[in-house]
Structure 1
Amino acid sequence: MADQNSAEISRMVRGTLLPAFAGAVPPRWLLDELERGLAGVTLFAINGNVPNTEALAALTARLRKAAAPLVAIDEEGGDVTRLGGHLTGSPYPGNAALGAVDDPALTRRVYRSLGAELAEVGVNLNFAPSVDVNTASDNPVIGTRSFGPDAALVARHAAAAVTGTQEAGVAACAKHFPGHGATVEDSHLGVPIVDAGLDLLDRREFPPFRAAIEAGARAVMTAHLDLPAITAGVPATLSHAAITGLLRGRLGHDGVIVTDALDMDGASGAIGLPEASVRALIAGADLLCLGSGEHEVSVRAVVAAAEEAVRSGRLPLERLADAAERTGRLKDWLAGHSAAIVDRAAGLEAARRALRLSGEPPRWDGGTAPLVVELEATANIAVGPTPWGLGPWAPDAVRTGGSDGAADSVLERATGRGLIIVLRDAHRHAAQRALATALLAARPDAVLVEMGLPVWAPEGAVHLATYGAAQANAQAAAERLGLA
């Protein structure tokens, strides 16, 4: 390649990359890469990018002095939150609660407000909404991130979420194509298999993506899962049949296609990040989310691998030009939109309306406040260590696992007072079920609060389902139980 041509190819490759970085101040290498054509960045709370909203706004302003980058984040509301919610819990309930309410106008309002908060701090691409149809109740990675198990319900809320987000001047990114809701494996740790043919996908997985596309979603994110009937052992993110054949051809998406984080084992575990990046571009992806740990060294390695793929003919130059054209259209769209007004009241309204109560809880009027015991639950990797529970409204709340003697210890502390047992996806955690059952045997007057999916509930127990563990869900539950 001539020097000028080589420089242009390097710039085009950089124009597909959304790497991460450490800290709340952009490092010099990142600013230099932006000047060389880097598409933008992906922000991660675990990297210290979001210590608070003021620091984040300063960070994004500094990025824009170097270029006009895409600034992306995973802000779904609910359990998956980065915008300060990783410290306190989100003021907006997640999709499961919105699906339980089933008011698309309210979903649109919530996402518009969430988008407005992102726009205020300079984030312009949100990796949300999740439009997966959660048909596998034991799904370890989607769960409350889904609007529900019904394709039609998810579709109408997918459209509402996309519309609301983009009314705030932030690009929505519907995910995880071709649909992560039927898996029982986590693509952070391997390649989940969805054993479904095209007819089933058309009925079950695709309606929400079609609705999001018809609503004008500027981006769609791919999933690292295998559809044997279509991708034949290749993760969808790296499959031309899935990205170009299905998402572009069958569903008609002409906006940007973004990969899920390529550092996940489901994409690069067997082949490494540079090769996974090249294969994703060949398959038809326009933007590559590299992952939280992929910084300067990774950018250089991916650029070198893609340049070599162009030289060898594996990666057509026209494919890079196509990606650049779509990314350019996205940036043009962003430049022409203004932000909306933050409306946090929408979050609490949705959380309150999502509550589902079976039975009648006892009244604590005039007496000692009930003991709140929260049963430990491991969060999936996408959720991360986000605070949850009723602790803010119960100063002496106890968090415990299912160890021997746990029930006796809790019962002793609850002597002479009411008992509230807080669960989170108890259907997925045998220890939660065992401890809750033991406590109810001794205290049938106890109240169960399920802050995940309400799949498991003992017959006859007073049971309050929140459909999520966000701060808004917790406040709504605390109000309903007289704690707030």
Structure 2
Amino acid sequence: MTHSAPGSVGPVLPAVLDEAAHRCLVAGFDGTTTVPDTLKRLIDRGLGGVILFTRNVRDADQVRQLTGTLRALRPDLLVAIDNEGGGIGHLVAADAPEVPGSWALGVADDPALTAACADALAGHLLSLGITASYAPVADVQSRPENPIVRTRSFGADPELVSRHLRAWIEATEARGVASCAKHFPGHGGTVTDSHHELAVDPRPYDRLDLAPFRAAVDAGVPMLMSAHVVFPALDPDRPATLSPRILSELLRGELGFDGVLVSDALEMKAIADRYGEAAGARLALAAGADQVIVAVPDLEVTLACRDAVLGALGSGELAEERVAEAAERVRRLALRYAVLPYRPDDLAAWDTGAGPAAARRAVRRGGFLPEPVPGAHLVDCFPPPHPALNWGGEDLLTELTALDPTATGTAVAGEPGDAGAFGALITAALRAAEGRPLVVAVCDAELYPWQARLRDALVAARPDAVLVSTGLPEPGSAVCAYGRGRVNLRATAEVLTGRMS
């Protein structure tokens, strides 16, 4: 039996090889209740997995029905999602447990608490029929100006990151959910976000942050995700996702990883702009990846990647043995995690208090913790939400007024439009704060100079202002949230008001 697809190019392949090629793909799609016909055809031919996003989530019952529909089409289909915690998640509407981001867990530095948070996230995933989580982040936040890792990392110390990785992976494994340490061999040493352009880590080999990935492999992590980052010390010509030296020689050979290696999303500009998604799929599999992710819901992009792989197999440009090896790893992963071995009612409960406890501990371990400031006026500055990470734009003002209805303020989500708007914002804030405490919160102001300008102007007029950092700690901050997840912001509001939620 052979297969060919409408619009595909190249020779027709034997069914077993066609199915193997499809197992190497993970597809995003649109829809909350129905599965597109194109996706059904891909699943029928062996598609390895799907990745869900906020666009696929309406509520918990709907997600359960959707994953059930997907699994009915193919029981060994991996259903995955990004589920890092903090502000990085897609399941808020599906009653996701509130846990802080990884940096706050690193500040709390209690691996048992990290494990409890990971268990809560994994238990919730299982209750929805999701069995693969593209988390935790193994990157070390090595460059202060890094624009993409930051509070998604457990910290700047490889040993600290390693011990919290182990706790997270082991807790997730105990639930029967596949975890995925990312982004190999590290994205924390760059000054570029690979969602937007190709990133480079210029450090020599002996200064790369490989220790957390070694720890993840030792902990039995079943998946690793590659970085769209060039490491000249390892391969000056190709990003890690497309580099045989990094994926096959370093990861497989030196680190001894034999699980599923999945690429970061191919539509990210670091790959799409320089190589194109289709060529990226072919090159990544040839380099040693086992699965490639096409996260965009446009299934034509997935089909183009699939056709590029089939064409390369037909021409001999991509070795059949390489794809067969990759598909076998995916098959083993699916046998271990894809089929649900339980009824949802049988799931053990998770600790809903672990996340708030971790967030509170982190806030209280950083900054100078001023006396409560009841009736404060807050100016909360933060960048627009990152579209790929789906942070929901939660603001501190909402959490502050929930605990102190006499508080007022404004949430500044992005740079004011012009000098006039900037000045008007300052004037209005100072007027509103007359005779009451002023709180000024910024999020990674060193990356966003408009926040620093606004903060400095307000402090110049009000030297008594209380400064808050909701990203990485800023100099002079009295309170540090270590992330903009809702639970981080609530813990910060508790400190500012002296009240517990």
Where on the TM-score scale, by shorter chain, does this alignment land: which range?
Answer: over 0.9
Quote the offset at 1:113 in angstroms. 0.8
Quote the offset at 1:268 in angstroms. 2.6
Deviations 1:265-321 (A, max 9, x none): 1123222111110111101111111122441x2232222211221122111111111
Aligned residues with identical type, % of pairs: 38
Question: For the residues of structure 1 that align with 2:91 and 2:156, how far apart are their CA atoms?
Answer: 27
Q: 1:12 aligns with which of 5, 17, 20?
A: 20
Quote the offset at 1:253 in angstroms. 0.5
Deviations 1:239-281 (A, max 9, x none): 1111001111111100000000001111232221111101111
Question: For the residues of structure 2 that align with 1:414 and 1:436, how far apart are their CA atoms?
Answer: 14
Question: For the residues of structure 1 that align with 2:391 and 2:186, how far apart are their CA atoms?
Answer: 25
Question: For the residues of structure 2 that align with 1:134 and 1:166, how far apart are their CA atoms?
Answer: 25
Given that residues 83 and 135 in structure 2 are in contact (C-alpha distance below 8 angstroms), is that contact kept between their aligned partners in structure 1? yes
Given that residues 89 and 386 in structure 1 are in contact (C-alpha distance below 8 angstroms), is that contact kept between their aligned partners in structure 2? no
In structure 2, the partner of 1:291 is 295
In structure 2, the partner of 1:207 is 211
Deviations 1:397-424 (A, max 9, x none): 3123451232221010111222221211
In structure 1, the partner of 2:122 is 115
Q: Secondary structure at the match of 2:161?
A: helix
1:416 equivalent in alignment to 2:435: yes
Amino acid at match of 1:457: P
Given that residues 223 and 259 in structure 2 are in contact (C-alpha distance below 8 angstroms), is that contact kept between their aligned partners in structure 1? yes
Q: Secondary structure at the match of 1:60?
A: helix
Question: For the residues of structure 1 that align with 2:95 and 2:142, how far apart are their CA atoms?
Answer: 30
1:321 equivalent in alignment to 2:324: yes
Matches within 5 A, 1:22-101: 22-25=30-33, 26-45=35-54, 48-68=55-75, 69-84=77-92, 91-101=98-108
Given that residues 97 and 352 in structure 2 are in contact (C-alpha distance below 8 angstroms), is that contact kept between their aligned partners in structure 1? no
1:451 equivalent in alignment to 2:470: yes
Aligned residues: CA RMSD: 2.1
1:467 equivalent in alignment to 2:482: yes
Gaps of 5+ in 1: none
Given that residues 263 and 294 in structure 1 are in contact (C-alpha distance below 8 angstroms), is that contact kept between their aligned partners in structure 2? no
In structure 2, the partner of 1:130 is 137
User: 1:50/1:59 Cα in 2 relative to 1: closer, same or farther (>3 Å)?
Assistant: same
Question: For the residues of structure 1 that align with 2:135 and 2:221, how far apart are their CA atoms?
Answer: 10
User: 1:471/1:88 Cα in 2 relative to 1: closer, same or farther (>3 Å)?
Assistant: farther
TM-score, normalisation: structure 2? 0.89
Q: Secondary structure at the match of 1:171?
A: coil
Q: Secondary structure at the match of 2:238?
A: coil
Quote the offset at 1:392 in angstroms. 2.3
Q: 2:446 aligns with which of 427, 442, 452?
A: 427
Given that residues 128 and 173 in structure 1 are in contact (C-alpha distance below 8 angstroms), is that contact kept between their aligned partners in structure 2? yes
Matches within 5 A, 1:314-353: 314-334=317-337, 335=339, 340-353=348-361
Q: Secondary structure at the match of 2:231?
A: coil
In structure 2, the partner of 1:389 is 395
Matches within 5 A, 1:160-309: 160-201=167-208, 205-295=209-299, 297-309=300-312
Q: Secondary structure at the match of 2:91?
A: coil
Quote the offset at 1:90 in angstroms. 6.8
Greater mean alpha carbon deviation, residues 285-294 or residues 104-113? 285-294
Question: For the residues of structure 2 that align with 1:300 and 1:377, how far apart are their CA atoms?
Answer: 35
Question: For the residues of structure 1 that align with 2:100 and 2:82, how far apart are their CA atoms?
Answer: 15
User: 1:231/1:150 Cα in 2 relative to 1: closer, same or farther (>3 Å)?
Assistant: same
Q: Secondary structure at the match of 1:427?
A: coil
Given that residues 14 and 37 in structure 1 are in contact (C-alpha distance below 8 angstroms), is that contact kept between their aligned partners in structure 2? yes
Question: For the residues of structure 1 that align with 2:83 and 2:494, how far apart are their CA atoms?
Answer: 26
Deviations 1:191-232 (A, max 9, x none): 11111333222xxx1110011111110100000011112222
Matches within 5 A, 1:360-399: 360-364=369-373, 369-395=375-401, 396-399=408-411
Question: For the residues of structure 1 that align with 2:213 and 2:399, how far apart are their CA atoms?
Answer: 39
Given that residues 79 and 90 in structure 1 are in contact (C-alpha distance below 8 angstroms), is that contact kept between their aligned partners in structure 2? no
Question: For the residues of structure 2 that align with 1:463 and 1:38, how far apart are their CA atoms?
Answer: 51
User: 1:167/1:89 Cα in 2 relative to 1: closer, same or farther (>3 Å)?
Assistant: closer
Question: For the residues of structure 2 that align with 1:282 and 1:364, how far apart are their CA atoms?
Answer: 59
User: 1:7/1:359 Cα in 2 relative to 1: closer, same or farther (>3 Å)?
Assistant: closer
Amino acid at match of 1:36: R
Q: Secondary structure at the match of 1:426?
A: coil
In structure 1, the partner of 2:9 is none
Given that residues 129 and 172 in structure 1 are in contact (C-alpha distance below 8 angstroms), is that contact kept between their aligned partners in structure 2? yes
Question: For the residues of structure 2 that align with 1:340 and 1:285, how far apart are their CA atoms?
Answer: 35
User: 1:219/1:103 Cα in 2 relative to 1: closer, same or farther (>3 Å)?
Assistant: same
Given that residues 167 and 340 in structure 1 are in contact (C-alpha distance below 8 angstroms), is that contact kept between their aligned partners in structure 2? no
User: 1:107/1:357 Cα in 2 relative to 1: closer, same or farther (>3 Å)?
Assistant: closer
Question: For the residues of structure 1 that align with 2:145 and 2:373, how far apart are their CA atoms?
Answer: 35
Greater mean alpha carbon deviation, residues 52-61 or residues 178-187? 52-61
User: 1:5/1:309 Cα in 2 relative to 1: closer, same or farther (>3 Å)?
Assistant: closer
Question: For the residues of structure 2 that align with 1:11 and 1:388, how far apart are their CA atoms?
Answer: 43
Gaps of 5+ in 2: 4-11, 402-407, 417-421
Question: For the residues of structure 2 that align with 1:61 and 1:237, how far apart are their CA atoms?
Answer: 32
Question: For the residues of structure 2 that align with 1:374 and 1:417, how far apart are their CA atoms?
Answer: 16
Q: Secondary structure at the match of 1:135?
A: coil
